[in-house]
């Protein structure tokens, strides 16, 4: 199937209010343009340099989301244009984003990444670390970032019950956070393999790559 048909099929399954982030990492400009010409405007990348090159070359009405792990020394390259940073998992990083956003006289929307998977390798905060971060005095002084919600990645497994449980945990944390901070509205969970489970558990934003663009080739 074509990219256009893949997009159409996926969008048809998304409830109202769920945003599709088309994950275009490793994909060339022409491929992204195919999705753009089919109407897609929100794209996700996991490397800042790759995203910046694409931002330079592609139409300026694209919303670029940084979905990968963010190195602090690279925030400056995306501070001018990034729409949403999904993978914020420390106050240190948040401070750097705030500092770079200030230079461009803007507020950068961020999601805090939670560690929900059983795997050791995934980044993210646990509920206690989240609590510490948002209740710290330093956090309150940051004027050029806005926390819009949470992001999480479930364990990579065939065990749908495990995935479901991890998404439920994230949703619970999200609901608690909503009571503590204003403007919490985005729950970013779900990828090609598990987005229907994520939606059933309350996702408001899915990050889908291979089901739109086909398998990635890293060679």
List residues near ligand PLP by CB under 6 A.
Answer: 23, 25, 46, 67-68, 153, 191-193, 207-211
**Closest C-alpha to 19, from 84, 80, 108, 81:** 84
Q: Quick one: tokens of 49? A: 């340099």
What is the smallest separation between the CB atom of 124 and ligand PLP, expressed in angstroms? 11
What is the smallest separation between the CB atom of 85 and ligand PLP, expressed in angstroms? 12
**Closest C-alpha to 206, from 10, 9, 54, 60:** 10
Residue among 22 and 133 whose Cβ is closer to ligand PLP: 22
What is the smallest separation between the CB atom of 23 and ligand PLP, expressed in angstroms? 4
What is the smallest separation between the CB atom of 52 and ligand PLP, expressed in angstroms? 17
Closest residue to ligand PLP, based on beta-carbon distance: 209
Residue among 32 and 191 whose Cβ is closer to ligand PLP: 191
Buried (b) or exposed (e) across 185-197, using 16+ Cβ within 10 A?
ebbbbbbbbbbeb
Residue among 25 and 54 whose Cβ is closer to ligand PLP: 25
DSSP β-bridge partners for residue 188: 151, 205
Residues 6 or more apart whose CB falls under 8 angstroms from that of 164 comprise 197, 200, 201
Residue among 157 and 192 whose Cβ is closer to ligand PLP: 192
């Amino acid at each position: 199937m074509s990219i256009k048909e893949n997009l159409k099929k996926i969008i048809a399954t998304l409830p109202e209010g769920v945003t599709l982030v088309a994950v275009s990492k490793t994909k060339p400009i022409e491929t992204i343009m195919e999705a753009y010409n089919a109407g897609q405007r929100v794209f996700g990348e996991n490397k800042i340099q790759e995203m910046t090159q694409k931002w330079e070359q592609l139409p300026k009405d694209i919303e670029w989301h940084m979905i990968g792990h963010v190195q602090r020394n690279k925030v400056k390259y995306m501070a001018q244009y990034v729409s949403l940073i999904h993978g914020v998992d420390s106050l240190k990083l948040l401070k750097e984003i705030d500092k770079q956003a200030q230079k461009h006289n803007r507020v950068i929307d961020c999601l805090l990444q939670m560690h929900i998977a059983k795997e050791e390798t995934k980044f993210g905060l646990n509920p206690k670390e989240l609590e510490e971060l948002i209740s710290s005095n330093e956090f309150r002084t940051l004027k050029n970032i806005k926390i819009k919600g949470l992001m999480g990645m479930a364990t990579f497994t065939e065990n749908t019950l495990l995935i479901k449980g991890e998404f439920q945990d994230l949703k619970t944390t999200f609901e608690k956070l909503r009571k503590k901070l204003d403007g919490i509205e985005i729950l970013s969970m779900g990828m090609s393999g598990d987005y229907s489970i994520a939606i059933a558990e309350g996702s408001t934003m899915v990050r889908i790559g291979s089901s739109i663009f086909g398998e990635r080739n890293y060679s």
